[in-house]
Structure 1
Amino acid sequence: MEYLIKINLSGGVVSAGDLYEILVIAENAGAQHIRFGNRQQLFFSIPGNELEDMEMEMLQAGIVYEIDADKYPNIISSYVCDTIFSQEGWLREGVYKDIFDLFSYQPRLKINLVDRHQTFVPFFGGNFNFISSDVSNYWYLHVRFPKTSQFYCWPSLIYSNDIPVISKKAEEVILKNRALFYDMPDIDEQLFFDMVTKGTATHMQPMTVPLQLPDFYLPYYEGFNKYDNKYWLGVYRRNELFEISFLKEVCSLCLETRIGQLYTTPWKSILIKGINPGDRNDWGFILDRYRLNVRHASNELNWQIEDMCEEGLTLKQHLVREFEKADLRTYRLSFAIKTQSKTGLLGSIIIKTQPSGNFEVLHTADFNPNSKNYISYKKRVKAQNLVEQLIDLCNSYYQLSQSKTKIVAPLVKEAEDLPANVDVLYQCRHCLTVYDKAYGDELNTIPAGTAFADIDTYTCPVCDADKDSFELMEKR
């Protein structure tokens, strides 16, 4: 019998000394490898007869952990991106740390703290998705109600120091009123807002500009890379397993060279910043000693898989091999494999396993993994046809990108008054969701090819705004 131990690394950051202590305890309990999860947490497995001794060591070290459970999901953040994948805006190390320090409770719902200028950390994988605005220390909030695909855009910006307060109150409202807000097909968002804000003293600002997200691209997150006058190192493992002895050496070298922190990523890898040029060879020696490659192909790196899921990992490894054989280009695309019905994995292209052994392939309307509008591409795909269907879909993406859709200023004219050669779409002014008749809207059971003007009543599938909230746009 084995036990799975989970430790949350708040925001995906951990000091080298704290991680070393965790590694020693795991090793003493019989673990040989560490895994990192989609929510920047840490896992290891131990034999059943080692549990009691491990718990004693954890207690003495003051380490919070869970056994075979995920009752308290990790708070994830884009802190890992600071100075290397994102240098715009006001969001920096001190702001992240101040917010983490203000959490005086263990959240039971998922919280994301994300810089809107980056695309490395998913924006909408949590229940409470805080996304930085252009106003210093103020955030957008997009709520995804648990076990649903319904998103609610909070109508005002939230101050950094109020994030823990709002999160705690919103969690209490949801969990104490499950019949209203948990796994429900239709949720009263105004009621939710009223219940959360009642008796809650917070600093909010009116939302004058809707959230605008950047085009997606996944930065290459492996190997030695230079920034400013230093280097950062990213390490990815194809089998998701990091040897404890390797990580102990990493921590020791961090301490020796005055690197205080390590970072985990939602792509199940680790990242070390602040490597001095004179120390680069020492890091190379560690990689040599453990025979670690740090230059995998991009189509190996751009996958999201459920945590501790051997079925998904095996399928991913098979698909990557087939992609390599086909020399398939996957730049600006990301993939997710879902073996469970409701997981928060995001991707441009989603592969869902079905009980029959077949697959369903979906993609977002614009192939941006941070989009919340998924379209079913093929259903009941047999295993032997899966690679072919995925290759066709990837090729379709690049064909579409040759005439990439650009949103320009709203058109004053009605669609029927425009020249026949002008292609149009409609965009929600509140959450920027796009309706394109080429795709229709599967969530609202509107088939592809349906003109927006021909829909009698329509509500936004993301924020539930009515049809009048959609503005006519030109598609170029």
Structure 2
Amino acid sequence: MEKKNLVRVFVKGGILSPGDFLRILTTAKELGTEFIHLGSRQDILFPAKDRSQALLENIFKSINTEYEVNEFTHQNVVSSYVALDVMPNKKWLVPHVYHHILDSFNFRAKHRINLVDPSQSMVPLFTGNINFIASTTDNYWYLYLRLKQFDNLPIPYSKVIHGYDLAKAAKALNDLDMNDDSLSSQDIFSVVDQQELNTLNPEEELKYPAPAFPYYEGLNREPGGNYWLGLYWRNNKFTVNFLIALCKRCMETNVGKISLTPWKSLIIKGIEENYLLGWEKLMGRFGINLRHSSLELNWHLPVLSEEALELKNYLVRALDQQDISTSGLTFTIKPNDDIYLFTSVAIEINPAEGEGSNTYNILYAKSFNPNSAEYLTYVKNVTKNVLPALLMELSVMYFDQIEDQPKSTPKKEVAPPVSVSESYQCKHCLTIYDAQYGDEAADIAPGTSFDSLPENYICPTCESKKGEFVKL
């Protein structure tokens, strides 16, 4: 099946509720499919028949979700929300910040847009054409362009932009034909300059995180005490019946969100410990394997490419026989140019001419860090049978270049103690904000003074603005 024969569901930011996911799954089942695919843009894909257009229109309108059928003209907005509570993150980048920004993207994107925290490594920084990267300043974001006419290298904007103005900047860029080769990066950024945006000079240049394999499978404990579950399918065919049961389990156990990763996997966060046995029973009933090796997990393949899947399976078997370590390395199989690399090693497929066999190129990211977006050629036009040996050579080369000297750890600044008597009360509903306890529902840590609350903080009861509170 080709991409043009699929329904593409744009899951904005990779975040959806179990109820909305359930409606998508039951619709897919009504249309006769037994499985869905996940895309690297955190979207959902499944086969559909042309006569289903009216049904699709009704379903996706009811859950306020964009979709496409038989075309490939728009893009999903990707975010690193999925990495919260799974990997390190900026302290200020909490769920409601993600939600507020994503909700402001109220247009259909024809360019790839990314919203990414550089502290984590699950969601790549620069797989978008328009990349917003979280800075060290609260709710200010770097802007990087990545376009083919600039050799696919990230080009930075001179300012950092406030989170609540990102949609305005993105909309201006989205309306522009950025693929016009006659436009320079200055021409494109001048469109951003013309918008009324809240900007600052960056405090420092963006530091690329060290490459790290993003573990994303199994039942794992969150910092807060609950658990997260990562699910991976070897062939990227996620069974509809199992996913329907999974959504119902989420709804029964107070799990409010399901997240999609660019690695074509699902993550369910906020699983309470007393419900673990029921989740394990669900996995066992459907025969779900949660113990794939890193050799299996650290690959990124294009959707629906049987050729890429077959090559991956061959290489995984061959490397497994050699007991080779690929810890820290990630791999892409690239059958065409319509894919943005975000792994440390890439294998390009050169189609055979006539009755000959395919040949392959191996590329690797500079310093094996895919965030550099700069790739070097290791070999060209080699045959399939020598690929495992060459990948083993690359893995040794990777470990040789790792610096093993310990880094000095800067002393942590200790925040001044907050007076336990500092309390503010909402004038409308009399709800009290006590600095001693913070506001757990809004991800405000205990010990946070009222003055330190973000300006967009609202009363958890009546949603009055921060300015409507009075000191007690």
TM-score class, shorter-chain normalisation, is 0.7 to 0.9
Matched with 1:291 is: 287
Question: Secondary structure, in 3 states, of the residue corresponding to 1:72?
Answer: coil
Q: 1:327 aligned to 307, 315, 323, which one?
A: 323
- Give me the TM-score of the superposition, normalised by structure 1: 0.80
Q: Does the 8 Å CA contact 1:306/1:345 hold for their aligned counterparts? A: no
Q: What pairs up with 1:426-445 in 2 under 5 angstroms?
A: none
The 2-side partners of 1:406 and 1:358 are apart by: 42
Question: Secondary structure, in 3 states, of the residue corresponding to 1:142?
Answer: strand
Q: Does the 8 Å CA contact 1:141/1:157 hold for their aligned counterparts? A: yes
Instruction: Determine whether 1:169 maps to 2:182.
Output: no
Q: Cα–Cα, structure 1 residues 403 and 91, in superposed 2: closer, same or farther, change >3 Å?
A: closer
Instruction: Determine whether 1:260 maps to 2:263.
Output: no
Matched with 1:158 is: 161
Q: 1:216 aligned to 211, 217, 241, which one?
A: 211
Matched with 1:444 is: none
Unaligned runs of 5+ in 2: 353-357, 409-472
Q: Cα–Cα, structure 1 residues 143 and 60, in superposed 2: closer, same or farther, change >3 Å?
A: closer
Instruction: Determine whether 1:11 maps to 2:6.
Output: no
Runs of 4+ in 1 over 4 A off after TM superposition: 47-63, 402-407
Q: Does the 8 Å CA contact 1:78/1:113 hold for their aligned counterparts? A: yes
Matched with 1:277 is: 273
Q: 2:106 aligned to 104, 107, 113, which one?
A: 104
- Give me the TM-score of the superposition, normalised by structure 2: 0.80
Matched with 1:301 is: 297
The 2-side partners of 1:166 and 1:37 are apart by: 26
**1:422-452 residue CA offsets vs partner (Å, 9 max, x unmatched):** xxxxxxxxxxxxxxxxxxxxxxxxxxxxxxx
The 2-side partners of 1:124 and 1:59 are apart by: 31
Q: Does the 8 Å CA contact 1:29/1:54 hold for their aligned counterparts? A: no
User: Quick one: which amino acid aligns to residue 15 of structure 1?
Assistant: S
The 2-side partners of 1:318 and 1:150 are apart by: 31
The 2-side partners of 1:381 and 1:272 are apart by: 41
Aligned length: 399
The 1-side partners of 2:229 and 2:123 are apart by: 17
The 1-side partners of 2:54 and 2:174 are apart by: 33
Instruction: Determine whether 1:142 maps to 2:144.
Output: yes
**1:393-439 residue CA offsets vs partner (Å, 9 max, x unmatched):** 112211222668999xxxxxxxxxxxxxxxxxxxxxxxxxxxxxxxx
| Cα shift at 1:272 | 0.5
User: Quick one: which amino acid aligns to residue 160 of structure 1?
Assistant: G
Q: Cα–Cα, structure 1 residues 191 and 210, in superposed 2: closer, same or farther, change >3 Å?
A: same
Q: Cα–Cα, structure 1 residues 73 and 384, in superposed 2: closer, same or farther, change >3 Å?
A: same
Q: Does the 8 Å CA contact 1:333/1:368 hold for their aligned counterparts? A: no
Matched with 1:242 is: 238
Matched with 1:70 is: 72
Question: Secondary structure, in 3 states, of the residue corresponding to 1:100?
Answer: helix
The 2-side partners of 1:115 and 1:151 are apart by: 16
User: Quick one: which amino acid aligns to residue 166 of structure 2?
Assistant: I
User: Quick one: which amino acid aligns to residue 107 of structure 1?
Assistant: A
Q: Cα–Cα, structure 1 residues 399 and 166, in superposed 2: closer, same or farther, change >3 Å?
A: same
Q: 2:247 aligned to 251, 254, 264, which one?
A: 251
The 1-side partners of 2:394 and 2:115 are apart by: 32
Q: Cα–Cα, structure 1 residues 150 and 372, in superposed 2: closer, same or farther, change >3 Å?
A: closer
The 2-side partners of 1:352 and 1:406 are apart by: 36
Instruction: Determine whether 1:340 maps to 2:302.
Output: no
The 2-side partners of 1:58 and 1:396 are apart by: 49
The 2-side partners of 1:52 and 1:234 are apart by: 34
User: Quick one: which amino acid aligns to residue 362 of structure 2?
Assistant: V
User: Quick one: which amino acid aligns to residue 7 of structure 2?
Assistant: I
Q: 2:42 aligned to 37, 40, 60, which one?
A: 40
Give % identity: 34
The 2-side partners of 1:208 and 1:52 are apart by: 51
Q: Cα–Cα, structure 1 residues 406 and 193, in superposed 2: closer, same or farther, change >3 Å?
A: farther
**1:133-186 residue CA offsets vs partner (Å, 9 max, x unmatched):** 0100101111012564143110010110111111111122335x72424xxxxx
The 1-side partners of 2:119 and 2:308 are apart by: 30
Matched with 1:206 is: 201
Matched with 1:364 is: 365
Q: Does the 8 Å CA contact 1:223/1:233 hold for their aligned counterparts? A: yes
| Cα shift at 1:23 | 0.7
Q: Does the 8 Å CA contact 2:20/2:63 hold for their aligned counterparts? A: no
Instruction: Determine whether 1:129 maps to 2:142.
Output: no
The 2-side partners of 1:292 and 1:166 are apart by: 43
Matched with 1:377 is: 378
Q: Does the 8 Å CA contact 2:351/2:359 hold for their aligned counterparts? A: yes
The 2-side partners of 1:17 and 1:234 are apart by: 19
Instruction: Determine whether 1:26 maps to 2:21.
Output: no
| Cα shift at 1:52 | 5.5
| Cα shift at 1:62 | 5.2
Matched with 1:428 is: none
Q: Cα–Cα, structure 1 residues 373 and 92, in superposed 2: closer, same or farther, change >3 Å?
A: same
* RMSD after superposition: 2.1
Matched with 2:396 is: 395
The 2-side partners of 1:61 and 1:387 are apart by: 46
The 2-side partners of 1:405 and 1:69 are apart by: 51
Instruction: Determine whether 1:230 maps to 2:233.
Output: no
Matched with 2:452 is: none
Question: Secondary structure, in 3 states, of the residue corresponding to 2:73?
Answer: coil
| Cα shift at 1:104 | 1.7
| Cα shift at 1:58 | 4.5
Unaligned runs of 5+ in 1: 182-187, 408-476
Q: Does the 8 Å CA contact 2:78/2:113 hold for their aligned counterparts? A: yes
The 1-side partners of 2:75 and 2:47 are apart by: 18
| Cα shift at 1:75 | 0.6
User: Quick one: which amino acid aligns to residue 223 of structure 1?
Assistant: G
